[in-house]
Structure 1
């Protein structure tokens, strides 16, 4: 890996053995990452992502082709009773992959992503680093989520904006 020093520094590590350990972990995580795309059952996709380090609660549905951060899967938390639609992308980092001068302007950034309880994410949503999705929120297809999503609301668009507040819906008043 070209940027191993930067990546292991995020975890407060440095040195030769830290690089060796990270590269072995990286190969293992990438093997599991690509294996998830071959799994027909959501339970298998969830289990493989847990092995990669993603923190996943109970009763979580992961659709086909869900891409959870390759470099920092342990920075992603998905809470109970959440459904994530096909081809959704969840990234906890941003990096310019080439050694260009643009990389000096935009160095590696890492921030945890948290998806709350009971969230429904429709297909092809992109969630960027540092986003917190509130409990029982709905993210519409194709949304690009760059900011925190309040609980019990519907968001959509590029960039995603609140479309509807769901907190006054009769379903939530029963509790």
Structure 2
């Protein structure tokens, strides 16, 4: 049986050697170069930004707005749905798939981290790593400086308060906050804004 490549093992969510693999290093270098180009594009040059994003990321929906600077590991594992806004300073550590739904609002300095490393130092020093997918449902609002950890799923319509570190799944239509993030309460009709009379 032919030995699987590090890229194949990474895609399967199992442990692999992330340290010396030439293919992964080339993919990361390409993604970093493309992110650099995107980050240097003029904010007013929307067609160029769109072209670069579509070349860098796995898929980009209609009317996506993503503000520089942006960082990715590979890019091709990032999928962003229609009408989603991503503020400055996002980092997608996309060893595994990162899916962002439609109509999401993502605050500045957002981080989605799919990579895990061993807790035992001797194993960690061998560059062992695995990557677990992250999924954000439609209509989610993620506040500033939120971190999503490997393997988490954010349910549709949830709100994640600024500064939260999400280590476990968050159900739909709730407000979650804290480190680690916990459900504070459901979002209800009482939360609807009262517009001017």
Superposition TM-score tier, normalisation by shorter sequence: 0.7 to 0.9
Per the alignment, residue 10 of structure 2 pairs with 10
Residue 29 (str. 1) matches residue 31 (str. 2): yes
Supply the RMSD in Å over aligned alpha carbons: 3.2
TM-score under structure 1 length normalisation: 0.74
* SS at 2:124 equivalent: helix
Per the alignment, residue 50 of structure 1 pairs with 57
Aligned with 1:75 (options 81, 97, 105): 97
Q: Structure 1 stretches of 5 or more lacking a match?
A: none
Distance 1:109 1:167, change over 3 A: farther
1:122/1:140 contact within 8 Å kept: yes
Cα distance in structure 1, aligned partners of 2:149 and 2:33: 23
TM-score under structure 2 length normalisation: 0.67
Cα distance in structure 1, aligned partners of 2:180 and 2:156: 20
Cα distance in structure 2, aligned partners of 1:81 and 1:56: 10
- Deviation per CA, 1:149-172, whole angstroms, max 9, x where unpaired? 11000101000011120145475x
Per the alignment, residue 114 of structure 2 pairs with 92
Cα distance in structure 2, aligned partners of 1:81 and 1:158: 25
Cα distance in structure 2, aligned partners of 1:38 and 1:105: 35
Distance 1:131 1:59, change over 3 A: same
* SS at 1:47 equivalent: helix
Cα distance in structure 1, aligned partners of 2:140 and 2:134: 14
Distance 1:11 1:150, change over 3 A: closer
Distance 1:55 1:123, change over 3 A: same
* SS at 1:29 equivalent: helix
Cα distance in structure 2, aligned partners of 1:7 and 1:95: 16
1:56/1:79 contact within 8 Å kept: yes
Greater share of residues in strand: 2
Greater share of residues in helix: 1
Distance 1:140 1:106, change over 3 A: farther
* SS at 2:184 equivalent: strand
Per the alignment, residue 64 of structure 1 pairs with 88
